[in-house]
Amino acid sequence: MHPIIKLVVQRIALGLLLLLAVSVVIFLGVEMLPGDTAQAILGQSATAESLANLRESLGLNQNAPTRYFKWLGHALQGDLGKALTNQQDIAHAIGQRLGNTLFLAVCAGVIAVPLAIALGLIAARYNGRWPDKVISGVTLATISLPEFVAAYFVIYLLTQVIPILQPVSMVFPGMGFFEKLHAVALPVIVLVMVVLAHMMRMTRAAILNVMQSAYIETAELKGLSPMQVIWRHALPNAVAPIISVVVINLAYLVVGVVVVEVVFSYNALGQYLVDHVAKRDLPVVQAVGIIFAAVYIGLNILADLIGIIANPRLRHPK
Amino acid sequence: MRIPLSALIGLVMTGAFVLAALFAPWIAPYPIDAAVGKVWEGPSQQFWLGTDTIGRDILSRLIYGGSVTIFVALVSSLLSFGMGAFFGFLAATRGGWIDTGLSRLVDLMMAVPSLIVALVVLSVLPLNLTVLILVMGVLDSTRVFRLSRAVAADIAVMDYVEAAKLRGERQGWIIFREILPNAMSPLVAEFGMRFIFAVLFISTLSFLGLGIQPPLSDWGGMVRENKDGLVYGKAAALMPALAIAVLAISVNLVADWILQRTSSLKGGRGG
Amino acid sequence: MSSELNHLLSLASAGKMSRREFVGRAGALGVSTAVAGTMLSTAVFADTPVKGGLLRAGMQGGESTNTLDPALAASDVPFMINSTWGETLVDVELNGTLGLRVAEEVSSNADATQWMFKIRKGVEYHNGATLTAEDVVATLKRHTDDKAQSGAQGIVKGITDMKAEGDMVTLTLAAGNADLPFLMADYHLIIQPGGGVDNPAAGIGSGAYKVVEHEPGVRTAFEKHANYWDSSRGHADQVEILTINDNTARTAAIQAGQIHLMNRIDPKIVELLKGNSDVAIERAAGPGHYVFIMRCNAAPFDNNDLRMALKMSVNRQEMVDKILGGMGSRGNDFPINAAYPLFDDSIPQRELDAAAAADFYKKSGHDGSPILLQVAPGAFPGAVEAAQLFQASANAAGIPLQVKLEPDDGYWSNVWNVAPFCASYWGGRPVQDQMYSTAYLSTAEWNDTAFKDAHFDEVMIAARGELDPAKRKGMYSEMANILRDNGGLICPMFNDWVEGRRNEVGGWIANPAGTLMNGKALSMCWLNA
């Protein structure tokens, strides 16, 4: 077997084990949190009696290991169960929301990643001159804004001053593709603003780091234009740090955008997880947690793989 | 050594922030907790940056809040870099089961939602600055680990590192003398970013309840306190946001300068 | 009313003059803004409803964990959703009187121990079945029996027997309660087919609209219930409730016309929003209040002098101005205000008095160690800021009050009703007895101030069976004074409902009993073309 394929198989197998570990950690974590689902549902109107009744009907009276292994048994057969809080079918609810999460992440990623890398290359090409300074200044200013401020800013600009978009971004099954695009335009703009700087700064730094190497000098002596040198010779050698930062930001776009979801009332996984953590609704937290974990683990495998493929010395280990 | 103008600006601004933070009680025109004006007054002679959501002087709160903001962000970023870079380099140079163990541990840490981690910490540990810094440092170190390991893996297979290994140099020597100088640029750039993320992360954790206690507030928290007036032309939230932006740009100007110097350290041209 | 005012009113209600313009010109005639607003609402109501269209409300207070089971409703969005598809026996109308819904007649025996509800004929559920007296009893039983998981369980405990005979439901109580019908207006007690025992979250009721789509925490879509019994309600063809938890986004959405009605306008931006000619701000003074609660059985709050010291050191006016943006009124350390029938407005208003506070503090003999006030952002809107104002004014009086920020997560289970001193809120109840017996009776389930006073309890029980309003008012006044001077409640402010309505929405009637016309805004309003 080719060593790279072997590596991938190994990593995926390890990844599955990790997912199991994640499910244990999440279970223990939520168990450690004060309060339980019954208390969270009844809230201020809880009485000792109604609490006891609700606990019994939710099956919270069983001990922790029993509940975990019951959950695991069902989950391994593909049955994610029902939410404790409202008896909603978890697989169904998650299916919809996962689609929305990925839609938003893909829209933002498709714009942000190429843009950030292009800007990073330009900044590196004009290192220290005005294009570099403008790009750095603007992108740094946009990430210094907390996400919700960036969100309010675009709401103000694009729904009040120039009313071309709508502040509420919820999407529903049955909406057309372009209708959905229009709905998510504002959150996409905000997310692009938020992730741009990090990837752009890393691209710039990584390129500058390799620009001092001997082979770049050779390439320049060959008479290649500065952009050609950067594109053909510097970029391939700077892939590892760029890709690891790109992956961290892609993971963020899937997993970490709850603030943006809340501001724009976008019905995706982040808000769903936060609501159910607040209610200690373990089956839902487990399901979403596993999805998020799979995203991290999968993207990390991808990053390592690209890093290896991009570097001939790693590709053919001695 | 000639310091370029941009770096000088960065150094002066960063220095000014740190000094203002250190001497807050002497500089701030008003106490941090006194409601001295009306709600959301605009900038005036009396209140240079206006007043906040319950009529406290924003400038004074910025000055007091600056110390805790910069201190927590700086210490936690240093912590995350110390841990992340060290283990990342170690994993890349040693390879084998150390690499696998550390990398998969990091995968696990990244994979558990940080909301749950934060809430568990909240319910188990006492709430103080040390815990806040530790939580931020450890959570962020996973990202630094990923980056350092990726960069170091590329460097570790270079001829000069192979040569050093064949020479029989010790692990520490290889990490600090061979890998670190060559990995410096991306790490410095990352540090500039992580520092800003840390500034914003404090306010997220404070909002969850794990963090700064009132009346003290970090800058991100001040933005949050005043956010509701933002769309209606009340600039109170913009003042701390602006402070964060200026701090971000200053720190990164300095980072750029260090980056220039480190990439020329390697003895290429123009060094 | 002057003829000019009448003329203005007709112009405004016909939509030929903006609300803002009307209020301005009425003001020139010497009519206060609040009065002018009410006049206009009434005039608009007198207007002919327009049928059809899609009416949308955007609301704070919904989560993806919500269910359609009325027993488990606890926040604004589920309350509104349930009020739109379901109906209770009776409800509370705008002036605090009882409105008849599923019940068309309510009567009692002389000592108020037995209550009869005559069930309206021809009320049809969305599934085509007819609502019966048996359904009513089954519903009440579901909320009261030992297996119940209902938020209304505490409310209906005093009922010893329920009977359905023909179209008559008879409830028998252990002790007389003149206010029992108001208990039946509780939003949990929506009448469901078969009591909702088989499928409590089916969302099938007898309300003006039936649920078509329901995504918890996101959107609930309804369409008109064709056979709804009350022709004065249900004007729009379709209605929708969107959960928009972010204040700024919700306000932007109503300005942009994406929604027609919204709850909870941040009071601080009301002044700023008045510049908008499309959105009217609807304000109603209700029974809801924000509180700091001391547990009377926990040191150092077991000392009444210390409690008094803290009560005297609150700057109530400052809190009303800064936390409520003026959209509210000062509290007087008992949970009742003018929104309740039989309120005694002669009880003097408690003011900030630093000197008296210092005296009480000295008298209490407190050791000077920090007094911790635990608070979370979600305790009530502006809770952390209010606590800091409290801290500043208390410190100025020499009381070492210190604010401790707690996480929102788990606040209601870990801090509220547990910690000796914390922030909280009450939404209020339709009648005084219900408010007092919910939280201030010695044995009350949610006695969050751990207040125990035998005499207070006696007066309360006596007042319940007292059918003479004048005598009852005197008894309530005595209870208010006991609580004000001995209780663990610090009530600095009552918060008004501040809600938004686009000008094309007709039929709005302010109802302080609950959010968005006590949950009926979508059923009673219409869209002017």
**What's the 3-state SS for C27-82?**
HHCCCCHHHHHHHHHHHHHHCCCCCCCEEEEEECCCCCCCCCCHHHCCCHHHHHHH
Q: What is the pLDDT of residue C35?
A: 60
State whether B154 and A245 contact (CB < 8 Å): no
Chosen for mutation from A19, A26, A201 (greatest number of chain B CBs closer than 10 Å) is A201
Per-residue pLDDT, averaged over B243-264, amounts to 86
How far is B53 from chain C, CA to nearest CA, in Å? 8
Tally of CB atoms within 10 A around B205: 25
Structure-block tokens of residue C526: 């219409």
CB contact under 8 A, B245 and A144: yes
If you average pLDDT over every residue of chain B, what do you get?
88
Query: Are the Cβ atoms of C242 and A159 closer than 8 angstroms?
Result: no
- Measured in angstroms, the CA of B232 and the nearest CA of chain C are apart by 6
The sign of the dihedral angle between the CA atoms of C153, C157, C161, C162 is negative
Chain A positions in Cβ-Cβ contact with residue B252 (cut-off 8 Å): 136, 140, 201
Residue predicted with more confidence, B29 or B211: B29
Q: Of A18, A153, A244, which is closest to B108 when you measure between CB atoms?
A: A18
Cis previous bond, B215, omega within 30: yes
pLDDT-based confidence at residue B268 (cuts at 50, 70, 90): very low
Query: Structure tokens of B161?
Result: 């590192």
Residues of A (140-159) whose Cβ lies below 8 Å from C: 148, 152, 155-156, 159
Interchain CB distance below 8 Å, C65 and A279: yes
Give the model confidence (pLDDT) of A48-68 as tens digits: 777 888 888 888 888 899 999
pLDDT, position C146: 67
Q: Given this model, what pLDDT does residue C31 score?
A: 61
Tell me whether residues A275 and C64 touch, CB distance under 8 A: yes
Lateral strand order in the sheet of C168-173: C103-108, C114-119, C168-173, C159-165
Instruction: State whether C252 and A57 contact (CB < 8 Å).
Output: no
Q: Considering CB atoms only, which of B119, B223, B259 is closest to A146? A: B223
pLDDT at C251: 94
Instruction: Tell me if chain B has a CB within 8 Å of the CB of C317.
Output: no
Predicted pLDDT of residue C17: 59
| A276 neighbourhood in chain C, CB within 8 Å | 64-65
Chain centroid to CA A36: 28
Q: CB neighbours (10 Å) of residue C389? A: 23
Chain A positions touching C154 (Cβ under 8 A) are: 45, 47
| CB-CB under 8 Å, B232 with C273 | yes
Scanning the structure block, which residue is given the tokens 């000792």? A48
Alpha-helical regions (H) of A176-238 = 177-210, 214-221, 226-228, 235-237
Q: Give the whole-angstrom CA distance, residue B97 versus residue B178.
A: 22
Q: What is the DSSP letter of C350?
A: P
Q: Which residues of A touch C72 (CB under 8 A)?
A: 41-42
List Cβ neighbours of C356 (8 Å cut-off, separation of 6 or more).
Answer: C312
Q: Which residues of chain C lie closer than 8 angstroms to B210, CB-CB?
A: 407
Record: contact B213-C409, CB cut-off 8 A: no
Q: How far is CA C301 from the centre of its chain?
A: 29
Domain locations along chain A: 90-299
CA distance A317 to C240: 62
Residues of C in contact with A60 (CB under 8 A): none
Report how many Cβ contacts below 8 Å link chain B to chain C: 69
Q: Quick one: which H or E segment has residue C277?
A: none
Residue B271: per-residue pLDDT: 33
* CB hemisphere CA count around A161 (13 angstroms): 10
Q: Do C256 and A34 touch (CB under 8 A)?
A: no
CB pair distance less than 8 Å for C272 and B234: yes
Least confident of A97-101, A207-211, C30-34: C30-34
Chain B positions touching C422 (Cβ under 8 A) are none
| Distance in Å, alpha carbon of A186 to nearest chain B alpha carbon | 15
> Of A113-122, B29-38, C121-130, which gets the smallest average pLDDT?
B29-38
Best B30, B32, B36, B39 residue to mutate vs chain C (most C CBs within 10 Å): B39
Confidence of residue B144 (pLDDT cuts 50, 70, 90): very high
**Assembly ipTM:** 0.91
Please give the distance of CA B78 from its chain centroid, rounded to a whole number: 8
What would the pLDDT profile of A171-195 be if each residue is shown by its tens digit? Answer: 998 899 999 999 999 999 999 999 9
Distance from CA of B212 to the nearest CA of C (A): 8
What is the Cα–Cα distance from B77 to B83, expressed in whole angstroms?
10
> Mean pLDDT, 10 residues at a time, over chain C (529 residues)?
55 57 61 59 68 96 93 91 97 85 94 94 96 96 77 78 95 91 93 93 96 95 96 96 95 94 91 86 93 95 97 96 94 94 94 96 95 94 94 95 90 88 92 91 88 96 90 96 97 96 94 92 93
- CA of C421: how far to CAs of B119, C416, C488, in Å? 23, 9, 9
Find the CB nearest A32 among B120, B223, B256.
B120
| B36/C contact by beta carbon, under 8 A | no
CA distance A285 to chain B (A): 10
In chain C, count H helices and then E strands.
Answer: 18, 21
Q: How far is A20 from chain C (nearest CA, A)?
A: 25
Q: Which of A28, A198, A209, A248 to mutate to test the interface with B (most CBs of B within 10 A)?
A: A209
**Chain B residues touching A202 at Cβ < 8 A:** 186, 189-190, 193
Contact check, Cβ <8 Å, C244/A168 = yes
CB contact under 8 A, A263 and C65: no
Alpha-carbon gap, residue C515 to C181, rounded angstroms: 21
Q: What is the mean pLDDT of residues B181-185?
A: 87
Contact B112 A29 (CB under 8 A): yes
Q: Is B138 near chain C, with CB under 8 Å?
A: no
Q: Residues of B numbered 90-149 whose beta carbons fall under 8 angstroms of chain A's beta carbons: which are they?
A: 100, 104, 107-108, 110-113, 115-117, 119-120, 123-124, 143, 146-147
3-state secondary structure of A306: helix
Region B94-114: mean pLDDT is 93
| A contact chains, 3+ CB pairs < 8 A | B, C
Q: Contacts of residue B40 in chain C, CB cutoff 8 Å?
A: 268
Q: Do A168 and C249 touch (CB under 8 A)?
A: yes
Q: Which residues of C touch B34 (CB under 8 A)?
A: 392
State the architecture of A90-299 in CATH terms: Orthogonal Bundle (1.10)
Chain C contact probe: residue of B119, B135, B228 with most C CBs at under 10 A: B228
On chain A, the residues whose CB falls within 8 A of the CB of C409 are 33, 277-278
Q: Quick one: pLDDT at residue C221?
A: 97
Residue C30's pLDDT is 59
Closest alpha carbon within chain A to C201? A86
Assess C321–B contact: CB distance below 8 Å, yes or no: yes
Measure in Å the smallest separation between the Cα of B22 and chain A Cα atoms: 22
Distance CA A166, CA A160 (A): 9
pLDDT at B255 over 80: yes
* Torsion angle, alpha carbons of C317, C318, C324, C327, to 10: 40
Instruction: Look at C405 and B213 and tell me if their CB atoms are within 8 Å.
Output: yes
In this prediction the pTM is 0.91
**Does the beta carbon of C59 lie under 8 angstroms from any beta carbon of chain A?**
no
